[in-house]
Structure 1
Amino acid sequence: MEKQHDFTQGNIFKQMLLFSGPILLTNLLQTSYQFIDSLWVGNLLGANALGAVGVSGTILFTVLAFIIGLNNAALTILSQQKGIGGDEGLKRYLNAFVVLMTAIALALGIFGYVFSEQLLNLLGTPESMLQDAKTYLQINFLGILFLFGYNFISTVMRALGDSRTPLRFVTVAVLANIVLDPLFISVFNWGIDGAAYATVVSQGLAFIYGFIYLKHKKLAPFTAPALPSWKEIRLILNLGIPSGLQMAVISAGSAAIMSVVTVFGGGVVAGFSAAQRLDNIIMLPAHALSTAVTSMAGQNIGVKNWQRVEKIAKYGVLYNFAIMIVIGIFIILFAEFGIKLFIREEAAVEFGKQYLRIIALCYPFLGINFILNGIVRASGAMYQVLVLNILSFWVLRYPLTWLMASELGSVGIAIGMGTSFIISSTFAFLYYRYGKFREKDLFK
């Protein structure tokens, strides 16, 4: 069966189901990757090592956010080129991304390795875990090219309409990490260095396997690297920079929300943290759908088939509503059980349960943001999506959460956030309906 899909024709709903499913599984595996890594470190090396990995992870997440930003740009450009047809444009932009990302990865790797300690000090890393965190971070920066590489290969395949093949690469990374973590940490007695090497080697194996697989199967028209034109570099940066800033806005917005939560003490903080871990899993279907509609819409925008883009948006919103309502009902019924998977303290469980039961009703509206912003992103209107994210987090979510919490107490945290989901989905719809993103032409 042909793995790559031409989304400019065929049954949209069936394509969306088949295409988003493997993306969801891939996201689940990536989530389990981080979870398993923390389990091994915490159980084999103790709380101090786990804290060191956690602090380092904050910096690595910022780097990953930047990578995701560049990959969002790649998804937009390459999916439109796929829709336009012919390999020439696709080859040129693939080459430009490979050259630019390699240069950025090498520069980031050197910078991160040299300034690891300074970065950790900026975060106020405790002296007791500074050395472990520094070593862990430096090793990860040495292997940053692998992180760039295997994420980019997965993005290329999705742009071409193939969401199954990236699942292979992530599976390799997860399975390798499961084996290598205890081997390097405990058997070889490398301690926290072993945890870092396990991560880098796992990502390296996924990248090498992915590259060989793509070349052998001729799934993407990669060519020998050549210096790209300024036009290609400019377009990539013009989309990649605001896309990376979107992730920074989201990250900073989450930190601002936490500043509201901490006012209510340890029990609420613990309950909120447990609820957030569940939130990250609950929203995976909406994230998968967002990636799917970006790829599907991108191909159709490439051939200016806006009527089909409208249908992709409609099916995406309906699919999101159906699945998020089912998940919401499930969460309302089993909120307490979910929180108790992470924590047993009565005050924390009580807050976490209450928070989830309120916020569950608003999940479908947050999903609408993901879907409609994914369509806008597919056109290349990255600055507009950046503005929508600033509006969502800094004009609505943080102020409303602060206001409701101030007036209603801890229950106001969920009410404020849920209200912001509903209002921001309205803004997303209004821009999708009346915005000028349809006039954007990336390849003039």
Structure 2
Amino acid sequence: MKEFAQNLTVGKVSKQLFRFTVPLFFANLLQAFYNITDMIVVGRFVGSTGLAAVSNASVLCFIIAGIGQGITIGGTVLVARTRGAGDRRGERETIGTLFTLTALAALPVTVAGLMLSRQIFVWLELPDEALPEAVAYMDILSGGTIAIFGYNAVCALLRGRGDSRRPLQFVAVAAVVNVVLDLLLVGWLQLGTSGAAWATVTAQGVALSVALGHLKQREFFCGFRLRSLVMRPDKVAGILQTGIPSALQMLVVNLAFLLVTGMFNRYGVAVAAAAGIGLKISTLAGMPCWAVGQAVTAMAAQNLGANQIARTAETALAGIRLSLLSTGTAVVLIQLFAAQVIGCFNSDPEVIRTGVVYLRIFCSFSGLAYAVMYTCDAFATGTGAASLALFNALLEAVLLRLLLCWLFGMVWGGGFVGVCWGMALSTLPPALIGLGYYRRGSWRRLS
């Protein structure tokens, strides 16, 4: 089987970054596509109640996936560092440690998802008619946590080695499985939101199986074998040094979105459904900068591991430019076709009208500020300063977003529109802080 790993420490930076980013973007896009498919199919076959249920449950699913992504980012950085330094033994030990650590982390997250989801939905004031469907959806998704974490671990390690193409192939298989099962279980068998959840879990399991099959065929790079599945204390420390702040960052960001979802729920089913759709579409707009950020993290870590300081700095600048260009294009397209895109999910005129307002405000200038913030945070993570990215997440998601949404939406009477403005304005200061980290150059001392 062809090897796709790239050496990110040679060649023109902007070209290498672009080549590495494109497969990551399409992989993220396909991942979002099969998640969005759940909402489209549920919206068409179940209606606004089912859509509100899936919208709220999806935010909890983002939290679970975010914790997995955060932990495994530590694997990306450590594999990239050891690979950049030419340390093949360290790379092999990192692989074994990350897989063991990921499996151990999945268990408490699964239990928490099963035990707490109903109470969280009640706390978020999810309309009573949508509560049973949301709980059923979340119970099934929580059971698939090990597949989510395992898949993220494989992809994190591949990215650290400079391979962004293979994860695209894995998620393409999952997308096809998810769409087919959505139509079968929700559309034909009329299983409602539970059918959509089973489709997603099955697709994730298939993606993990295909990924593990690839690794077995490749003899698990660097001579890795099952006996390598041990916890190396130094590798655990290296992974968690980045993984814990990154996981907390993902947790904080998604918890803040969860609390904002609770604010939207107070305005009824139509607003809850519209906000859920708007969040999904905004997620699509964020796909380009997420891919760039993933590429920047791996590329910066490899180059810093190889002690190529100038090239590491150039990676950050190239990433910011590419992120702004790609995200700006996505924002323009969404603004032009906002009503049509909302209509793909639900035909209720009230849902469409409210969803368009959401996109007009939130998916606008704030998208560009978010692109800068995310890319700079990814650079900080790749250069060993994941705590800065965590600080920025706390600032943006807790201090600014929740405070501004509360002030504009409730204290000053702006309602649904005020909450949207609070979300939009929260990204500006963290973007400036991220740029400041790059310009100060303190990351050079971490090489």
**Mean Cα displacement is larger for which, 262-271 or 386-395?**
262-271
Distance in structure 2 (CA, Å) of the matches to 1:56 and 1:409: 26
Q: State the secondary structure of the residue aligned to 1:220.
A: coil
Residue 289 of structure 1 is matched in structure 2 by 292
1:365 deviation in Å? 1.9
Distance in structure 1 (CA, Å) of the matches to 2:362 and 2:139: 42
Distance in structure 2 (CA, Å) of the matches to 1:407 and 1:46: 33
Gaps of 5+ in 1: none
Distance in structure 1 (CA, Å) of the matches to 2:247 and 2:233: 20
In structure 2, relative to structure 1, the CA distance for the partners of 1:123 and 1:79 (3 Å cut) is same
1:413 deviation in Å? 4.9
Distance in structure 2 (CA, Å) of the matches to 1:139 and 1:415: 34
Distance in structure 2 (CA, Å) of the matches to 1:391 and 1:245: 13
Opposite residue 79 of structure 1, the aligned amino acid is: A
In structure 2, relative to structure 1, the CA distance for the partners of 1:106 and 1:401 (3 Å cut) is closer
Q: How does 1:181-330 map to 2 (within 5 A)?
A: 181-183=182-184, 194-218=195-219, 220-221=221-222, 222-224=224-226, 225-258=228-261, 272-330=275-333
Distance in structure 2 (CA, Å) of the matches to 1:238 and 1:2: 30
Q: How does 1:123-142 map to 2 (within 5 A)?
A: 123-124=121-122, 136-142=137-143
Matched, 1:422 2:434: no
Q: How does 1:133-152 map to 2 (within 5 A)?
A: 136-152=137-153
In structure 2, relative to structure 1, the CA distance for the partners of 1:140 and 1:259 (3 Å cut) is closer
Distance in structure 1 (CA, Å) of the matches to 2:55 and 2:264: 20
**Mean Cα displacement is larger for which, 181-190 or 246-255?**
181-190
**Mean Cα displacement is larger for which, 133-142 or 74-83?**
133-142
Gaps of 5+ in 2: none
Residue 28 of structure 2 is matched in structure 1 by 27
1:257 deviation in Å? 3.9
Alpha-carbon displacement from aligned partner over 1:240-299 (angstroms, at most 9, x marks no partner): 222111112112322444466567777766655443332111111111111111111110
Alpha-carbon displacement from aligned partner over 1:342-367 (angstroms, at most 9, x marks no partner): 46536962773485267523322211
1:187 deviation in Å? 6.7
Opposite residue 374 of structure 2, the aligned amino acid is: F
Residue 374 of structure 1 is matched in structure 2 by 378
Matched, 1:392 2:407: no
Q: How does 1:147-186 map to 2 (within 5 A)?
A: 147-183=148-184
Opposite residue 243 of structure 1, the aligned amino acid is: S
In structure 2, relative to structure 1, the CA distance for the partners of 1:226 and 1:28 (3 Å cut) is closer
Opposite residue 103 of structure 1, the aligned amino acid is: L
**Mean Cα displacement is larger for which, 341-350 or 275-284?**
341-350
**Mean Cα displacement is larger for which, 177-186 or 44-53?**
44-53
Distance in structure 1 (CA, Å) of the matches to 2:329 and 2:187: 42
Distance in structure 1 (CA, Å) of the matches to 2:208 and 2:253: 27
Distance in structure 2 (CA, Å) of the matches to 1:416 and 1:85: 47
1:432 deviation in Å? 2.4
Residue 116 of structure 1 is matched in structure 2 by 114
Matched, 1:7 2:8: yes
Residue 75 of structure 2 is matched in structure 1 by 74
| Aligned residue pairs, count | 438
Alpha-carbon displacement from aligned partner over 1:44-78 (angstroms, at most 9, x marks no partner): 56666666655554443322121011122122111
- Aligned 8 A contact 1:7 1:296 in 2: yes
Matched, 1:436 2:442: yes
Rg (Cα) greater in structure: 1
**Mean Cα displacement is larger for which, 432-441 or 126-135?**
126-135
Matched, 1:363 2:375: no
Distance in structure 1 (CA, Å) of the matches to 2:56 and 2:423: 26
Q: State the secondary structure of the residue aligned to 1:10.
A: coil
Q: State the secondary structure of the residue aligned to 1:123.
A: helix
Alpha-carbon displacement from aligned partner over 1:172-211 (angstroms, at most 9, x marks no partner): 1111222334445677787766544433332222212111
Question: What TM-score, normalized by structure 2, do the two folds share?
Answer: 0.84
Opposite residue 69 of structure 2, the aligned amino acid is: I
Distance in structure 2 (CA, Å) of the matches to 1:218 and 1:351: 49
- Aligned 8 A contact 1:99 1:227 in 2: yes
Opposite residue 364 of structure 1, the aligned amino acid is: L
1:93 deviation in Å? 0.7
- Aligned 8 A contact 1:331 1:357 in 2: no
CA RMSD in angstroms comes to 3.4
**Mean Cα displacement is larger for which, 371-380 or 360-369?**
360-369
Question: What TM-score, normalized by structure 1, do the two folds share?
Answer: 0.85
In structure 2, relative to structure 1, the CA distance for the partners of 1:435 and 1:218 (3 Å cut) is same
Q: State the secondary structure of the residue aligned to 1:8.
A: coil
Percent of paired sites with the same residue: 27
Distance in structure 2 (CA, Å) of the matches to 1:358 and 1:138: 30
In structure 2, relative to structure 1, the CA distance for the partners of 1:415 and 1:141 (3 Å cut) is closer
